[in-house]
Every structure is written in C-alpha cells, then in structure tokens.
A and B are shown apart, each in its own frame.
Chain A
Amino acid sequence: MLSPQLGFDFVFEWTPRSIFLALFVLFIGASILPYAYEYLKKYERKFRFFSVFCLFAVSMVGILGADNLILIFVAWELTSWFSYLLIGFESERDIARRSALQALLTTMAGGIFLLMGFIIWGETSGTYSFSQLTSTGRMPSDLAFSFILIGLLTKSAQFPFHFWLPNAMAAPTPVSAYLHSATLVKAGVFVLGRMTESVALTPFWVDLLSYVGLWSFFIGAVFALRETELKRLLAYSTISAIGWILALLAMTAQSPLRNIVDLFVISHGGYKAGLFLCAGVIYYVYGVTHLQDIKGIGRQSPFLGALMSLALLSFMGLPMTTAFNAKEAGLEIFLHHESPILILLSVLGSIFLTAVGLKMFACLWAQSKPRKRIKKMSAVLVVPPMILILAPYGWFEFHWGPLMPMALSAIAFVLGAGLWKLDSRMGERFLRKNTPFMDRFYDFKLQIIYRIARDIMNVFQPQRLSLLLLFVLLGFSCLVLFAIFRWTWSDPSLPVFSDIGLTDLASVIMILAAAVSLLVWRSRLNAVLALGLSGYGLAFLFFLYGAPDLAFTQFLVETLLLILFVSVIPSFPRWERRSSPVSLARSALVSVVVGGIMSATAALVLFSVRTDDLKNFFSERSFTEAFGRNIVNVILVDFRGLDTLGEIAVIAIAGLGIWALYRFSDRKERKT
C-alpha cells in the first residue's frame, strides 16, 4: 500500500463492464480528436487544448477503474480541473471565463461533499478499497451516501445543480461533444453504476434518486423546448437524458437489467456527441448557432442534414434505433415500480423531448433561401459525427417490446407532435429566452461570499502594519494562553538559579540596555544597531549555555537583519514622532502583555520539564541510527526531517511572496 495511514493506494480494478465503458469513453475521444484538429486550426493554443483533452480522457478512465476511494476522488477532481481549462479555452472571452469558473466552483463544491462522503464511508468501514467496500453489499451510511449523492448530482448536472451545464457550452464544440454530452457529465453515472453493481440501495434512496432523476428528465426537456440556441438546447436535453439514466440506475441496482443502463449510456453518448459535432459543423461552415438561423440547412448540406436526422431519430427514441430499445426497457422498469408520479414524469418528459426533436427536424428541412458559407466543409468534420451516430446501431436488436411501454411511447409521440404543432403555432411567444433562476441564484451566492470575504479581510487585514501586528501578536498570545490553561502541570518546582556567572549577567545587562535604549534613540541607525546588539547578546547567552548551533544561527540571522535594516534606512523619510499618545500607550500595553505571556510560557516550560528522556533518547540514537554526532543537526535533518521539510517549504513560500510583492507592486509608480 502506498500510504497505509491515509488508506491511499494506487490500484485499479477492472471488471468487464468498466473496461467496456472505458473503451467507450476512449472511443468517443478518439473519434473527436481529428474533428477537433480541423475545428481548432485557427487557434494558437492548440497544443494546450490537445494535451488537456487527452489528460481529461485519462482521468475519466481513472474514475472508471480506480479501486481506491481517494484515487477515485482524485480522478474526479482532475476531470473538474480539466473541464475548467477546456471550458475556459477561449479565455479572452468574458463569458468563457465566467462559465468555466461556474462549472469549476459548482463541481468542486460537489467534489468536497463526495470526499466527505467517501471519508465517512471509508472510516466507518475500515477500508478505502472500493472492491472490498462493495463486495460486502452493504450501503454506506445514510449520511455518507447523501454526501456522495450531492457530489454525483452536481457533476452530472442534475436538478438543482443543473445550471452550470448550459453555460459550459461556451467551450469549443469538440469539448461540448466530449465532456458535456458523453463523458464528464456521466461521471456521476459511472461512479453510481460501479457502486450499485453489487450494493443494493434502500428503498428510500431508490425513490429519491428516481424522483430527482426523472424530475431532471422532465425539466431538462421543458427547458430544451424553450431554448433557441442549438448547443444550449442540446445541453438541456443532456440534463434530461442523464436524469433518465440515474433513475434507471437506482432501480436496477444489483439486477441483471443493468445492461439496459449501459445500452442507454452508449446510445446517448453516441448520438448526443454526434449531434454536438454536427452543431459545431453548422457553426464552423455557416457561422450560425440559433435555431431560427439553421432553417433549411438540411436542404443545402443534405449529408449533414441526413446525419442529424438520423441522430434525431435516436434523440426522440423512435423505433428501429438503439435508444428505442433502451427507452422501452426503461419504461418497463418504471412501470414495474408502480409509482404514478414517476410514470407521469417520464411520459411528460418524453412528450417534450419529442416536440424538441420534431422542432429541430422541421428547422433542418424547412424552406429557405441558401445561406453563405464562411468556410469549406471538409470530410474530417463530417466523418467523426457519422461514426458516432452510426456506432450505437451496432447494438441494435430488432424486437417489439411488451405492449404497455409501447403504448406509452406511442401516446408520448402523438402528444409530442401535438405539442410541437402548438409550439410552432404559438411561434415566438413560446420561444422566449429561458429565465435561468438557478444561474442568477449562483451569482447571488457568489456575491455574498465575496462580500463576507471582503468584510473579514477589511477587519483582520487592515492596511496599517501596526494594526496588523496587533492582530497577529494578540491572536498568538491568546493561543499560547489557551495552551497554558489546558496544560496539566506535573511538577511545579522552581528551577535552580545557582550557577549564574558574571558573563551571563553581563550579557543579560547588555540585552536589557540595548532594548531600553531602543525606545529612547531618535535616530534610526542607532535604533537598528541597538536591536542588533540585543540579538548578539542573546546569541552569546545561547553560546554560554551550550547551544552552539543556536548561537551560530542567531549570530548569522542578526548580521543579515542588520545589513538589511541599515541598507533600507536611506530610503526612509526623516525621523519624526507621528504616533499619538493613545496609540503609543496601546503599543506599549500590547508589547508588555505579549512579552509577559511569552516569558511566563518559557518559565513554565522550564518548571515543568524535569526529565531528560528526550535528551537521552536522541543522544543514544543519533550516532547509531543516523550516523551523526551533532544531535541538533541529526534531529533537524533526520528524526524530524519531515518537519524541516515543512519549514523550508514555508521559507521558500515566504521568499516567493516577497518576490511577488516586489515584482508586481505599484511601488515604482508611487515613487515617481
């Protein structure tokens, strides 16, 4: 195991099903790559795009195969990050940046819930191994599962976290086709599918998931009908399709009917990615994205029109398509569930989806005058969608399903056609823009968070150094006081002050004199020298009491500080006393309090630690185990090496911070 304390291990566990789905993910990616190459020819940052695109595919495969909860989470977060980079690919556009950030924040918030759920699950079960956890067949506790579910639903853009997906359509089309139809949004489906393969859900969760899923199925379809932009319309229909899949997953847990879900995942991934790619071709060749602008494009580019029509057949789930098989089987399962609301929601959703499909179909083949082509159509742009749309037909089996689902489908189709007629009759009135309520709610939340953060920062990070120091010092003293009161004092005996020599006294007096004179000097140079003197006195004390390493370090640091202070003095203004008596008194009070607390702590520590255990431990082992005679150094670099690594990391970060402050500040402007 890579890290037994954290339960983390880099292992993969492949089942036939996960291999199949991974191949499906990679297949879609591979078909989209040549398309993307052609589509993005004019962009400069192609290299970045393709590397992120491929990394995304890898992390998607990681979600499917990882056998450790933490590893699944890592892959999960990676897909969020790569999706952020891909949505914001055209980073010079405001809308792309905003959408990318929205997708990132939403899915990351869900990711945190997922992590919490995984941790609760792993800690209560004693293992983080996914295969061991699921092989018991027990569900995670309700709390853990609800957290996991929030994560899954945000990533899969289900109600009420659906708002980020249509906005994510700001990404270039190949990204929408790959991430936001076939893979990324199905991450939730994949994880839930892997869990429910052997774990049975309790009835409550089955109900909840199917209601949430079918409600998303319904509202996705409704929003799709009201949307006018082609890609956003497809995004809404994706929300609806994934809702359907999630509901099916919940109901087919632990049953052989699971294959139907996979069938649906594949057929949906194929035709939806194909439709996205076709929408991209329309945008690439004709430069239009809105539904009323694509009227008659089927007549002008018959091959593209035929492809899209074929995909729309699957979209509406008409007979002779794989989607039809999957849909019929799904309906049958819902019927078995015998919940009228679920059946109603699924039929209503189907009605709306049919209307959407018919509307797109009618738009494609409507009469209109020819449009101007911006760019030439090329085979590379048409072949990938063709492959993707035709591929699911490989799983098509011809059979008439049972009567009841067929009847429901027929009713849905007829009513959908009626809805489409009504919609086109009503015309523009129904076609008005969606009011993205959840989207505005997101903005509202974000603003509140910004405001709170700003208020906190204004209070605790004031622009004046003296106030800032006040907060830091008082906060630190409070922590120390807390520690002192929590401490159990074992041996309150007084330390022995017997062997204090003359040299000790001399250096103490030097330190005190330097410290007092600091307050009195009216020249900066003298003050700095006095400060240095007190530091050297301290170093001398260290040396006297047998801590040469410490003394050495103290000397060097004092010297460095002295040089630093002396060299910045010339750039200061003339010395004058500006502080009011009140602020002086405040500073005096704070320094006395902080200094007193620190001295008291040092003395208390001296009182209480009377054993030589640590000392003996290190002096015994430093040479036998770490081959060094300098105990201090051996502790630093060997026994406590990780602590030191943390410390030098802090040093490096502080250095970088100062560097950034100097390089990117407006200091130079202020000077002139």
Chain B
Amino acid sequence: MRSLILRTMAPWLSFLILVVSVFILWQGHNTPGGGFIGGLTASLGLIFYSLAYGYREMERRLKVRWTAVMALGLGIAGVSIVFSRQWISLFVQMWGPPPLFDVGVYFVVIGMATLLMSLVMED
C-alpha cells in the first residue's frame, strides 16, 4: 500500500486537495460547494496523506486534536449565529468570502470525518 510513488505524490496531492477544498468553501455561496462539501474534500485530502504515511504521522505533523477542531467549528458557527445576519452580510459585501457560518461547518466536518477515520484506522 505504501508505495514509493504514493509516498512521493501524497504531500503534493493532499496539499492540492486542501487548497481546492478551501476554494470550494470560498465560492460555495455562489456556485456549487460550501462548508459541508469543502470539509469533506479537505478531510479526504488528509486521509489521502495518511494512507501514504499513516494517521499518526499526519496528526504529528499537523499537531491538532480533531475534537478541538470540531469545537472550533461549532464555536465559529455559534458566534456567527449570535452576532446575526447584519455582520456577516457586511463581511460578505466588503470582501466576498463565504459567510463565517460556513467556515464553522467546514471545520466541524473536517474534524468529524478525519477523527472518525483516524480512530478506525489507527491500529
């Protein structure tokens, strides 16, 4: 499974997938995409890396805890809801990024999907 080709390509490809996932998140408000799809894509990128190097190695490099990522996502989403639409709309009009809320969804999905995979495949 851990062939030389895979190990050589994995960092580049997974980086590319992560960039694409951010792009999907970014333009999700106007074209197909969004936080959920972006999050799934990003976690697929991370999983792809882990298939080559192992989940331990991926987590060691990233130095994140997936439960914390989920909490961060929930926090962002919750805060953006609390501070209601006006702020986000302002944000959208000025810079054009996706609403903050979608960023929260993105992180929750990344955290959940990657956590699940790394738990099941860790040992």
Of the candidates A557, A563, A633, A645, the one having the most CB atoms from chain B within 10 angstroms of its own CB is: A633
- A629 CB–B CB distance under 8 Å: yes
A55 at the interface (CB under 8 A from B): no
Say yes or no: A645 contacts B32, CB within 8 Å: no
Q: Which of B4-12, B34-42, B56-64 contacts A (4 or more CB under 8 A)?
A: B34-42
**A560 adjacent to B105 (CB under 8 Å):** no
Q: Which residue of B lies closest to A644 (CB)?
A: B105
Stretch at the interface among A6-14, A225-233, A650-658: A650-658
Q: Does A380 contact B (CB under 8 A)?
A: no
Q: Report if A438 contacts B (CB, 8 A).
A: no
Indicate whether A172 reaches chain B with its CB closer than 8 angstroms: no
B70 proximal to A (CB < 8 A): yes
Q: Contact string, B86-123, partner A, CB cutoff 8 A, digits 1/0?
A: 00010011000011011011001101110111011100
Which single residue of chain B is at the shortest CB-CB distance from A636? B34
Tell me whether B43 is interfacial, beta carbon within 8 Å. yes
Quote the shortest CB–CB distance from B113 to chain A (angstroms).
6
Q: Which of B36, B70, B85, B99 contacts A652 (CB 8 A)?
A: B70
Shortest distance between the CB of A447 and any CB in chain B (Å): 36
A548 near B: Cβ within 8 Å?
A: yes
Whole-angstrom distance from the CB of A202 to the nearest CB of chain B?
A: 44
Provide the residues of chain B in CB contact with A627, threshold 8 Å: 29, 89, 92-93
Q: Are A633 and B44 closer than 8 Å at their CB atoms?
A: no
Within 8 A of B (CB), among A624-664: 626-630, 632-634, 636-638, 641-642, 644-645, 648-649, 651-652, 654-656, 658-659, 662
Pick from B29, B101, B117: contact of A641, CB below 8 A. Answer: B101
8 Å CB contacts to B: which residues of A605-632?
626-630, 632
Interface 1/0 per residue, A541-578 and B, CB below 8 Å: 00000001100110011011001100110000000000
**CB closest chain-B residue, reference A642:** B81
A290 to B37 Cα, complex, angstroms:
68
Q: How many residues of A contact B (CB 8 A)?
A: 37
Given A627-B29, A628-B30, A644-B105, check contact A560 B89 (CB 8 Å).
no
A560-B43, A627-B92 known; A655 and B67 CB under 8 Å?
yes
Q: List B contacts of A549 (CB < 8 A).
A: 32-34, 37
Residues in B whose Cβ lies below 8 Å from that of A563: 47, 51, 117
B77 proximal to A (CB < 8 A) = yes
CB-CB < 8 A to A644: which residues of B?
A: 77, 101, 105
Contact of A651 among B67, B85, B99, B112 (CB under 8 A): B112
Interface contact B78-A645, CB-CB below 8 Å: yes
Verify if B66 is at the interface (C-beta below 8 Å from A).
yes
Most chain B Cβ neighbours within 10 Å, of A553, A559, A645, A648: A648
Asked whether, in the complex, the Cβ of B108 is within 8 Å of the Cβ of A652, the reply is: yes
Residues from chain B with Cβ under 8 Å of A560 in the complex: 40, 43-44, 47, 113, 117
When the two chains form their complex, are residues B117 and A548 in contact, meaning their CB atoms are under 8 A apart? no
Q: Is the CB of B71 closer than 8 A to any CB of chain A?
A: yes
Q: Which residues of A contact B32 (CB under 8 A)?
A: 548-549, 552, 630, 632
Considering only CB atoms, which chain A residue lies closest to B113 in the complex?
Answer: A560
Contacts of A642 in B (CB 8 A): 81
The answer to whether B112 and A559 have CB atoms under 8 Å apart is no
Determine the distance from Cα of A648 to Cα of B120 in the docked complex, in whole angstroms. Answer: 21
B99 touches A638 (CB 8 A): yes
What are the interface flags for A332-352 relative to B under an 8 Å C-beta threshold, 1 for contact and 0 otherwise?
000000000000000000000
Partner pick for B111 among A553, A638, A652, CB 8 A cutoff:
A652
Query: Which of A559, A568, A645: most chain B CB closer than 10 A?
Result: A645
Contacts of B51 in A (CB 8 A): 563
Residue of chain B at shortest CB distance from A563: B47
Cβ-neighbour of B105 out of A564, A648, A662 (below 8 A): A648
A564 touches B29 (CB 8 A): no
- The complex places the Cα of A629 from the Cα of B98 at a distance, in Å, of 12
Q: Which of A637, A638, A656 contacts B70 (CB 8 A)?
A: A656
- Partner of A556 from the list B37, B67, B77, B89 (CB cut-off 8 Å) is B37
Q: How far is the CB of A110 from chain B (nearest CB, A)?
A: 32
A397 to B77, CA, bound (A): 61
A10: min CB distance to chain B, Å: 14
Contact present for A630 and B30 (CB under 8 Å): yes
The answer for the CA separation of A509 and B79 in the assembled complex, in Å, is 46
User: What's the minimum C-beta distance from A157 to chain B, rounded to whole angstroms?
Assistant: 39
B89 touches A626 (CB 8 A): yes
* A652 and B71 contact, Cβ closer than 8 Å, known pairs A630-B34, A659-B115: yes
* Complex Cα gap A632–B29 (Å): 9
Which among B36, B37, B105 has the greatest number of chain A C-beta atoms within 10 A? B36
A548 cross-chain contacts in B, Cβ below 8 A: 32
Contact at A629–B31, with CB atoms within 8 Å?
A: yes
Contact pick for A638, options B40, B43, B85, CB 8 Å: B85
Q: Can you list 12 A-B pairs with a CB-CB distance of less than 8 A?
A: A553-B36, A553-B40, A556-B40, A559-B44, A563-B47, A567-B117, A568-B121, A634-B29, A637-B29, A638-B99, A638-B101, A659-B67
| Other A-B pairs, 11, CB within 8 Å; known A563-B51, A656-B67 | A549-B34, A553-B37, A560-B44, A560-B47, A627-B29, A630-B33, A636-B34, A641-B81, A645-B77, A652-B111, A656-B70
